[in-house]
Amino acid sequence: MSEDGPTANESVNEETPLLDDAVRKHEEVYNRFTPAQKRTITALISLAGLLPLFVSGTFIPSIPQIAKDLNTTGSVVNVAVSLSIFANAFGSLFWATYSGYYGRKPIYLTSIAFEAVGSFGVAISRSVPQLLVCRVVQAFGASSGLSVGVGVIGDIYKLEERGGASGIFFSAVLLGAALAPLVGGTTSHYYTWRAMQFGLSGFAVFCWFMTLFLQPETSQPGARGIDKARAAGEKRNWVWLNPLRSLGLLRSPNVLFLALEGAFVLLTDYGLVVPIAFTIGKRYGIHNEALLGALCIPLGVGNFVGAPLSGWLSDRIIVKWRKRRGGTWVPEDRLRAALSGAAIMVPCSVLFSGLVTQFVPGRLGLVLNLGALFVNGLGVDFVLTPSTAYIVDILHQRSAEATAASMCFRGILIALCVAFILPAIETFGVAATNGALAVMAWVGFGLVWSVVKYGDKFRAWVDVGFTDLKNN
C-alpha cells in the first residue's frame, strides 16, 4: 500500500468488515427512490434517449428525396450524417460535463430545447448549407439522451442491478432504431421529409414538458459540483467548465480500448444502414422510402432483444464470478458477456451481408440480408450494453463524463469513416467494403479480450480515479 492510500488493484480486492459496512451504508443512496419511481425515471430518460436515434434514423431513408428536393446528390446530403455524428459526439461530452455540475434535470431541459429548435430549422431548410447548420443544432441538442441517461442509471441503480437496468434503458432507446427508419421512410413517402422533421420538433417539446413535470433530480446527495461549491461558500450561479477535460479519461487503456471497440462495432451498423438505399435497395429493386425504412426493422429488433438480454447476462456473470472468487469483485468479469458479440455476431453478420448483396440475387438474397441485419443488431448490443455498464462500474462518480468521452471518441472516428463508406462501395464493391468493416470488428474483439484478461493491470498502470465497492 502506498503512502497516498490503496492502489486501484488493492481497492478492488480488499475485503474487510469495515468495507462491508461502508458498502451497506453507500447502498442507502439507492433507496431514495421506490421501484415504481425508478421505473418512471427510466421511462422518462428512455424518451429522451429516443431522440438521437430518431434524429439519425428518420433522416437516412429520406436522403434520396432530400437530395432531389434541394437539387443535390445523395453523397452531398450524406455529409449531413457525418456532421450530425460530430455534433452528437461533442454534444454528449458537453452535456455530460455540465450534468455532473448542475445535475441531470436542468441539462435535459436545456438540451431538448436545442433539439426542438434544430428540428424545426431542418424542416424549413431551403438550401444545403441551411440544412447542415440546422442538423448540427438538432444533433447537438439530442446528444444528451444517451450519455446523461447512462449517468442517471448509475445514480439510481446499484452495482448488481446496473447491467439489467442499462439493458432495459438501451432496449427502450433502441426501439427507436427499429421504428425510426420505418417512420421516417413512411412519412417521407406518403407526405414529405419535412413533415418528419416537424414531427421530431413536436416530439421534443412533448419530452421537454414530461421532463419538467415528472422527472426528479437524480444526482446523488452532495455529488453535484454546484452542491460542493455552495458548501464551500461560493455563490456563483454559472461556471465555465471544460468539456474536453473528460477526454483525459481516455488515458486509461480500459476506457480507450472499449471506446475503440465501440467505434468499430457501430461502424458495421452504419456501414449497413447509411448506404442501404444504394446497396440492398438498389440490388433488390427497392426504391420506396417506406420499404427502405422497413429494411432496417430487423436490425432494430436485434437491438431491442440484445440490450436487455446482454445486460441481464452481464449482471449474472458479475454475481457468478464474484461468488467463485469468494466475494472479491473484479469489474472486468462483466465484459465476458460481450465476447460472443464481438468475436462472432458483429463481424460475421456484416461480412455475410456484403457477400450476399454482391453475389446472391432475388428473394433469397433479400431474406438472407434481413437475417444478417438482425444478427448485427443483436451483436452490437451484446458488445455495447456490458461495455457501458462496465464504464459506469469503474468510474461511477464520473459515469456520465466517462460515457460521453467514450461516445465522443468513437463518434469522431465513425464520422470520419461514414463519409467514405458510399464512395468505397462504389469503388471497391459492397463485399470488399463490408469485409474491411469485419476486419475492424475483429480487431475490436481483440481489444475487449485484452481488457478482460489484463484489465486489473491496466487500471493499476493508469489510475484515472477508479471507484471501488465503497463508492460504487
pLDDT of residue 5: 43
Task: State the pLDDT at residue 26.
Answer: 63
Q: How far apart are the first and last CA of the chain?
A: 21
Question: Is the pLDDT confidence value at 445 over 90?
Answer: yes
pLDDT over 90 at 345, yes or no: yes
Q: What are the C-alpha distances in Å from 286 to residues 74, 83, 276, 282, 362?
A: 16, 27, 10, 6, 12
Model pLDDT, residue 90: 86
Least confident piece of the model among 25-29, 332-336, 387-391: 25-29
Residue 451 has pLDDT above 90, yes or no: yes
Answer whether residue 349 shows pLDDT above 50.
yes
34-217+245-471: CATH superfamily: MFS general substrate transporter like domains (1.20.1250.20)
Q: What is the pLDDT of residue 9?
A: 46
Closest CA to 148 of 392, 330, 431, 433: 392
What pLDDT digit, counting tens, does each position of 241-286 carry? 888 888 999 999 999 999 999 999 999 988 898 788 889 988 998 8
Considering only 111-115, 146-150, 229-233, 302-306, which range has the smallest mean pLDDT?
A: 229-233
How much is the pTM?
0.77
What's the mean pLDDT in 200-228? 92
Confidence of residue 229 (pLDDT cuts 50, 70, 90): confident
* pLDDT score of 365: 93
In the chain, count of helices (H) and strands (E)? 21, 0
Domain ranges in the chain? 34-217+245-471
CA 143 to CA 120: how far, in whole Å? 17
pLDDT at 290: 76
Q: Which burial class, exposed, middle or buried, applies to 213 when counting CB atoms under 10 A from its CB (0-12, 13-18, 19+)? A: exposed
Strand partners, 2: 5
| Banded pLDDT at 358 (limits 50, 70, 90) | very high
- pLDDT at residue 74 tops 80: no
Residue with the three cell numbers 438505399: 277
CA–centroid distance for 323 within its chain: 30
Mean pLDDT of the chain: 87
pLDDT at 3 over 80: no
CA Rg, the chain, in Å? 22
Under a CB-based contact definition with an 8 Å cutoff, are residues 78 and 86 in contact? no
| pLDDT digits 0-9 by tens, 107-158 | 999 999 999 999 999 999 999 899 999 999 999 999 998 889 988 998 999 8
